[in-house]
Amino acid sequence: MSIKNVVKKGCIFMKKKNVVTVLFPLLFMTIITIISFSNMLDFKGIDFKGIFILSLILLFPLLFLLQGIICAINNTNVFLSLGVSILNFIILLMIYLNDSALIYSFIYLTFGAIGYLITKSIAK
C-alpha cells in the first residue's frame, strides 16, 4: 500500500470535525484557567478565582460530558479525545493548582465516559 493510498483513505490525518472534537474542551479549559490566574484583563469588579472554581465544578465536567457525546455521534476515538483533554487538565493542574485537584481528573473522565456510553447506547 503506497503512502498516497493511505492519505486518501484518511488513515494518517484526522478529519476536521474530529480535530474540533478533540480540541474544544482543551481550548476552553486553557483560556479560562489562564484568564483566571493571570488576571490578564485587569478587571477590578470580577472575581476570576470564583469563576475558576465554578468552572472547575460545573463547566469542566460539562465540557467532558459534551466531548463524550460528540465523540459517540461523530465516531471519534474517545480514548484519544478524553486523553488529550485530561493531559491538558493535568498540565494546568501542575502549573496553577496543587495535587489535591487531581481527583477532578477522574471525575471528568467519568463524565466523558458516561456521555459517550449513553449516547452510543441510545444511537443503537
Q: Residue 91 pLDDT more than 80?
A: yes
pLDDT of residue 41: 59
pLDDT digits (tens, 9 = 90+) for 52-85: 788 888 989 999 999 999 888 888 888 988 999 9
Set of cell numbers at residue 4: 498516497
- Which one has a higher pLDDT value, 117 or 20? 117
Band of pLDDT at residue 40, cut at 50, 70 and 90: low
Count structural domains, the chain.
Answer: 1
pLDDT of residue 112: 92
Set of cell numbers at residue 83: 486523553
pLDDT digits (tens, 9 = 90+) for 104-115: 899 999 999 999
The reply to whether the predicted model has a pTM over 0.85 is: no
Q: Residue 7 pLDDT more than 60?
A: no
pLDDT of residue 1: 46
CA distance 57 to 32: 13
**Among the listed residues 104, 82, 93, 69, the one whose alpha carbon sits nearest the alpha carbon of residue 23:** 82
Q: Helices 78-96 & 60-74, crossing angle to 10 degrees? A: 160
Contacts of 98 (CB under 8 A, 6+ apart): none
Strands (E), the chain: none
Domain that holds residue 67: 3-123
